[in-house]
């Protein structure tokens, strides 16, 4: 009960900050999530590579933070095209490679692999997040609500009636019942969103809910696989009751690009 209370309190603070920033607008949201992205980069670096923290960690944060900023810029400035974002990202990676070569980095493959993994799985999804606002003021809020619904539904249904293990070799606690419960609840909430908010048609909201539920579950399982390989329970300790930033945002990292691809296809 105490664990659930701490988890709920932390979740409530997180929800309040996210919704408050969303109401303030995309720029405020991007500013709020920038330090969140940096912490997630740090956590993933430690999960994905054996390279010592410094200087590899510094380059991961520099490149990842730069990619986040370069991508997010396009959501606020129409003159900032995707080509600029790609150019900035490429130059940052080249700078990291050049530094590694000049300083005789002892594990160049691990060094570069850790940076690229962090960029692709953390910086890019977080940097794409502000683009949800382009589809209407409720699109970002709706996305987050559906993400939270799937996470909460899977957790509660799994604890209540979960019997059949989903992928025990990856995540022993996740169950098929929890997965189905999360998806069902997410589709229901997507129907409610579509009934009151018309950024998308009703059936498009429901499809978006299904995409979010499925991709966020895959992201959750991917992070579980990383943690299992490292032999750790959580990616960090910054969020009481949840663990690290990645433990809270693992589903977010695949759901954001998947949802944006869907939205651009139906636009």
How does pLDDT run across 69-124, given as a tens digit for each residue? 999 999 998 889 889 999 999 999 999 999 989 988 878 888 888 899 999 999 99
Q: Distance (Å, rounded) from C-alpha 235 to C-alpha 229?
A: 12
The share of the chain scoring above pLDDT 90, in percent, equals 72
Which residue in 132, 144, 149 sits closest to 25, CA to CA?
132
Q: How far apart are CA 245 and CA 243, in angstroms?
A: 7
Q: How far apart are CA 205 and CA 186, in angstroms?
A: 10
Say if residues 200 and 194 touch (Cβ distance below 8 Å).
yes
**Domain boundaries, given as residue ranges, for the chain:** 2-266
Asked if the model's pLDDT at residue 192 lies above 90, the reply is: yes
Q: Is 89 helix (H, G, I), strand (E, B) or coil?
A: helix
pTM here is: 0.92
Q: What are phi and psi of 50, to 5 degrees?
A: -90, 0
Nearest to 61 by CA among 32, 39, 29, 88: 39
Helix or strand (DSSP H, E) at 172: strand 171-175
Helix H or strand E segment including 162: none
pLDDT of residue 183: 98
Residues 6+ apart with CB under 8 A from 71: 85, 123, 124, 127, 128
**Angstrom distance (rounded) from CA 145 to CA 132:** 13
Q: Per the structure block, which two tokens stand in for 41?
A: 């980069």
């Amino acid at each position: 009960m105490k664990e659930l209370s701490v988890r709920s309190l932390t979740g409530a603070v997180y929800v309040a900050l996210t919704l408050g920033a969303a109401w303030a607008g995309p720029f405020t949201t991007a500013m709020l999530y920038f330090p969140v992205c940096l912490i997630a980069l740090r956590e993933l670096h430690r999960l994905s590579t054996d390279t010592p923290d410094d200087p590899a960690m510094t380059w991961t944060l520099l490149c990842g933070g730069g990619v986040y900023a370069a991508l997010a810029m396009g959501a606020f400035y129409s003159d900032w095209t995707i080509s600029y974002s790609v150019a900035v990202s490429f130059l940052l990676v080249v700078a990291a490679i050049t530094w590694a070569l000049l300083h005789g980095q002892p594990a160049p493959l691990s060094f570069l692999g850790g940076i690229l993994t962090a960029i692709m799985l953390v910086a890019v999804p977080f940097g794409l997040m502000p683009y949800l606002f382009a589809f209407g003021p409720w699109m970002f809020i709706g996305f987050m609500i559906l993400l939270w619904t799937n996470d909460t539904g899977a957790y509660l249904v799994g604890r209540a009636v979960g019997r059949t293990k989903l992928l025990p070799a990856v995540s022993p606690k996740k169950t098929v019942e929890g997965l189905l419960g999360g998806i069902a609840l997410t589709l229901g909430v997507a129907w409610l969103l579509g009934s009151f908010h018309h950024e998308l048609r009703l059936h498009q909201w429901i499809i978006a809910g299904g995409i979010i539920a499925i991709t966020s579950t895959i992201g959750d399982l991917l992070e579980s696989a990383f943690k299992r390989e490292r032999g750790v329970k959580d990616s960090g300790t910054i969020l009481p009751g949840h663990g690290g930033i990645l433990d809270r945002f693992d589903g977010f990292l695949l759901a954001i690009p998947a949802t944006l691809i869907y939205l651009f296809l139906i636009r």
